[in-house]
Structure 1
């Protein structure tokens, strides 16, 4: 795991130290396109605070912020993929979490595409 004293890549995106294709931002959340998309639409919804490393910590520490992330994911899915979407939180290295700053993956299809159920484990 990375040194927790170093700012996460997401904190650096919030600070505009690293460029990102930002699709939404307010006082508490930023959302941007994933640089390694796993679906035709792949957005990351990230709280601006790096206080929470994973979704379990967030749910315990600030359930209102978690609800805001989910509501933002839905709004973005409505805008970018017709409202149908997959919302994924990875927790832990063995499940693919590589940035230990809680974030949600919004995966969706564009018109004419679909996401197969069997793609869940890939």
Structure 2
């Protein structure tokens, strides 16, 4: 996995691509914000700051207020890799985020995207 190149990318550059992707599919920036905030614990203000400051992905995740413990319920393939099998914790977090945004773009219901443990 080309992790060094990915880690040097800014969150802002990825975020713009996420928003463009979901908007092409008729979804909104607010949907992207919802899934990223669910995953990372960031709020609208801290997401905007991360974009404005052009922090890299490593810094973005290092400054994550509260990474969602239910993220481990995210499974499936993204970019040719099973997210649950990725060994590098940071790369796994990045791919979790990719997977959630991909599910938004595919029109999956938000209640399914924002995983919760079975009762």
Report if TM-score (shorter chain) is over 0.5: no
Structure with the larger helix share: 2
* Larger RCO of the pair (alpha carbons < 8 Å, separation 6+): 2
**Bigger strand share:** 1
Structure 2 length normalisation: TM-score?
Answer: 0.30
Structure having the higher Rg? 1
